[in-house]
Amino acid sequence: MPKSYIEVLVNDEPREFLVQPGTTLLVALREELGLTAAKRGCAQGTCGSCTCVVDGEAVMSCLVPVETIQGADVRTLEGVARDGGELDEVQAAFLEGFATQCGFCTSGMIMAAHALLAENPDPSREDVVRAISGNVCRCTGYESIINAILDAAQRRKATGGVQYVEGGV
Amino acid sequence: MAPSVEVPESVGDVVGALAGEGSVVLAGGTVVMPEVNTTAHDFRALVSLRRAGLRGIEVDGGRAVIGAATTLAEVGEDERLAVLRPVIESIASPTIRNLATVGGNLFVKQPYGDLAVALLALDAEVDVAGPDGASSTRPVADVLRDGAGAREVVTAVAFDVPDAAAWRYTKAMRRKQNSASIVTVAAVLGLDGGTVGAARIALGGAGAKPVRATAAEQALTGGPLDHDRARAAGEAALQDAEPFDDAYASAWYRGRVLPVHVRRALLGE
């Protein structure tokens, strides 16, 4: 079966590549683009470790055939840190709040948090729980993650909102 | 073998793409893609609805028409459909609701498909497109019972938006967020003063498909909406239920709690 030619914007950078039919966004990111922050956990949309932001919405990238999102704006964890590698508020809050242990869920958690804070800069604890309800963490017990996302909202208020790296990773 | 992916740009082209053997509609992908990723499926082609123009919500004169490829998140964010927000919020997680669609929910296995349960209580109508430009409008109960044809696609769902005072919904879950249903109860009550003039009650987690609790409806109709009658309706709901075992709950447990949740839903407890 012929490969498909895909053009998408990934972390502000236009990317083009060929994929086998039926390739998911997750596999395309990891195997075509070498962006391995999004993890393959369950491949069923249950664990959230592959969460990316597509056209502003947090989605499970394992459930999205990349051929269906031609031209989309995709953001992954690799496109979250600021220019020069300075961590953004969510990353910094996770690091300093010990919100990551084994790290497997962290990428998905941070992307779900990003989508939340873009839509709701001042979330309640309940809003945070709701936002990460599709993301499974088997280490932390969630409290440190929830606290880190609330902390990130406060940090972001202090620094004046989200900024992304120009030109991608 | 990996299936091909078609992204048709019209309903006609969707139906055309479904002609091939092993073709399946791909709406949000939250049910089909897990099968593609993790099972020995026999899909040959995934026919995406993403660009087929089936996304959008219209509300006119109290009647809502929702395109089949509208996401659950979009329904949940629509102020005109605020009465249905508890239904949407009870389904999976925001990241899944950003993908999962209204049309797709009609084809989800129980104990998922809570919106389908609500649409059954709302007596929704479903628009279906088929080969050679054919289109039909069917009661949602028929679509839930029979599914759609192999070369058909649901294009829209329509229903009268209920008054908040007439609408009832409750879903018993294993936890507050992101759990399949133990039992789900949705109802539209026609209240005339203190008397229930008419009732449509639908159940999830009570059979292989969402079901109407007709015995409960009869038990409730024609009298006041009080504790005793709501309790009797809850007991009657078992007559239309065939509770099942799964990882979320046993059939015994579902049967045991169903009357309680029907009563609580009806009384808004």
pLDDT tens, residue by residue, B178-194: 999 999 999 999 998 88
Asked if B4's CB is within 8 angstroms of A64's CB, the reply is no
| pLDDT at position B197 | 95
Global confidence as pTM: 0.96
* Percentage of chain B lying above the pLDDT 90 cut: 98
pLDDT tens, residue by residue, B32-43: 999 999 999 999
Parallel, antiparallel or unpaired: strands B125-129 and B153-160: antiparallel
A-chain residue closest to B93, CA distance = A134
Residues from chain B that touch A59, judged by Cβ atoms under 8 A, are 95, 98-99
- CA dist., res. B95 & res. A56, Å (int): 11
Q: Which residue in this structure is represented by tokens 């990317």?
A: A15
Residues 106-165 of B with CB under 8 A from A: none
Residues from chain B that touch A48, judged by Cβ atoms under 8 A, are 93, 95
List the pLDDT tens digit at each of the 169 positions of chain A: 789 999 999 999 999 999 999 999 999 999 999 999 999 999 999 999 999 999 999 999 999 999 999 999 999 999 999 888 899 999 999 999 999 999 999 999 999 999 999 999 999 999 999 999 999 999 999 999 999 999 999 999 987 765 554 444 3
| Over residues B110-125, mean pLDDT | 98
- CA dist., res. B27 & res. B115, Å (int): 15
Residues from chain A that touch B33, judged by Cβ atoms under 8 A, are 24, 44-45, 62-65
Asked if B96's CB is within 8 angstroms of A64's CB, the reply is no
| pLDDT at position A2 | 86
pLDDT tens, residue by residue, A3-43: 999 999 999 999 999 999 999 999 999 999 999 999 999 99
| pLDDT at position A83 | 83
Parallel, antiparallel or unpaired: strands B125-129 and B63-67: unpaired
Q: What is the mean pLDDT of chain B?
A: 97
- CA dist., res. B147 & res. B157, Å (int): 14
**Interface pTM (ipTM) of the complex?**
0.95
* Percentage of chain B lying above the pLDDT 70 cut: 100
Radius of gyration for chain B, computed over Cα atoms and rounded to the nearest angstrom: 19
| pLDDT at position B209 | 97
The closest CB to that of B30, out of A45, A70, A129, belongs to A45
Q: How many residues does chain A have?
A: 169
Contact criterion met (CB below 8 Å) for A155 and A93: yes
Asked if A67's CB is within 8 angstroms of B5's CB, the reply is yes
- CA dist., res. A21 & res. A31, Å (int): 14
- CA dist., res. B99 & res. B88, Å (int): 13
Residue of B93, B99, B101, B175 to mutate, interface with A, max A Cβ within 10 Å: B93
A-chain residue closest to B35, CA distance = A44
| pLDDT at position B177 | 93
| pLDDT at position A161 | 60
pLDDT tens, residue by residue, B54-103: 999 999 999 999 999 999 999 999 999 999 999 999 999 999 999 999 99
B-chain residue closest to A48, CA distance = B95
| pLDDT at position A152 | 98
Q: DSSP character for B224?
A: B
The closest CB to that of A63, out of B5, B33, B51, belongs to B33
Phi, psi of B71 (to 5 degrees): -80, 160
Asked if B37's CB is within 8 angstroms of A62's CB, the reply is yes
| pLDDT at position A165 | 43
| Chain A touched by B34 (CB under 8 Å) | yes
Q: Which residues contact A131 (CB under 8 A, 6 or more apart)?
A: A58, A112, A113, A115, A116, A123, A149, B94
SS3 A59: strand
The closest CB to that of B95, out of A42, A43, A134, belongs to A134
| Chain A touched by B23 (CB under 8 Å) | no
Q: Which residue in this structure is represented by tokens 């089936």?
A: B54
B140 pLDDT more than 90:
yes
